[in-house]
Amino acid sequence: ETAEQHAAFNARIARGEKIEPGDWMPAEYRRQLIRMISQHAHSEVVGMLPEGAWITRAPSLKRKTILIAKVQDEAGHGQYLYHAAETLGATREEMLDALLAGKAKYSSIFNYPSLTWADVGMIGWLVDGAAIKNQTMLAGCSYGPYSRAMVRICSEETFHHKQGKEMIVTYAQGTPEQRQMAQDALNRWWWPSLMMLGPHDADSPNTGALVQWGIKLKTNDEVRQEFINEHVPELLEAGLTIPDPDLHQDESGNWIHGPINWDEFWAVVKGQQGLNRERLGARQQAHEEGAWVREAMQAYTARQMGQAAD
């Protein structure tokens, strides 16, 4: 890598140009993108598990069809993202191996259990809400395939967000048991949703390089502030109590949260706390049970190629 190549690359970023798969890019830009996009893909796929667990127990046919569509969307998001990472030279096999071996990260949020039906609504409202804030920003990122995947994913997640909010607002105005269920779900998902947007900027080793290269257009704390400012008034309006005694609005209108338990965050990321083992076990089982599909596809491709050669 020469200084001239770096200068030309930085100039492209500064002009707001998209970097495309065949273009020259610094090895570190490629490495950072593969890291982020593959983690993101794994998150979408593992993210099917907490909600998928409730498909058979949905309270009505309407809610069940919505949930099936949502979980299926997450699988599709995983597909776009694995493809985006493949454009950078990562293979599907090495990414999946890294996930199943417990070497790859996926979002901390999916190591929390979904204990009641209200969790499905709360995941839609808060987790998709946080994901949309982060991904609307990433839709403007400098790497073309990732930014375009984000545009489509965000529009689908806007539907996920709305169905979750509609569900929770309905329960928050329902029977005392429903109100309690919605509040309990908020109590358990509020802090993990704040953590999901990553460590504070001062403790975020990757943010500097990512911002410099136009991969992240905002820092973790900036995105978290946007998420809080949008969601706090809506949750309060729904009649729910946010489980943070220190939460207050400052003079500029920002909602300021109390201290986040980062020890819990890191324990969950490292699999020392939460459902990491169960999540990876479920993925391992799905991978093994899908072996016949992969074999059938390979046999089909081999036969097609054989016919083409005839």
**Contacts to ligand FAQ by CB under 6 A:** 35-36, 39-40, 43-44, 47, 74, 105, 107-108, 123, 127-128, 131, 134, 196-199, 204-207, 210, 220, 269
| Shortest distance in whole angstroms from residue 121 CB to ligand FAQ | 12
User: Min. distance of Cβ 119 from ligand FAQ in angstroms?
Assistant: 11
123/186 with CB nearer ligand FAQ: 123
Q: Is the Cβ of residue 108 or residue 183 nearer to ligand FAQ in the bound state?
A: 108
Min dist CB 75 to ligand FAQ, Å, is 10
Cβ-in-10-Å burial (0-12, 13-18, 19+) of 187 comes to middle
What are the Cα distances from residue 117, in Å, to 47, 49, 52? 16, 14, 11
Report the nearest approach of ligand FAQ to the CB of residue 89 (Å): 18
- What's the rounded Cα separation, in Å, for the pair 310 and 295? 23
Q: Is the Cβ of residue 40 or residue 63 nearer to ligand FAQ in the bound state?
A: 40
Question: What distance in Å separates the CA atoms of residue 6 and residue 178, rounded to the nearest whole number?
Answer: 57
CB of 264 to ligand FAQ, least distance (A): 12
Distance CA 65, CA 75 (A): 16
Q: Which is nearer to ligand FAQ, 44 or 244 (CB)?
A: 44
The CB-nearest residue to ligand FAQ is: 47
Q: Which is nearer to ligand FAQ, 272 or 304 (CB)?
A: 272
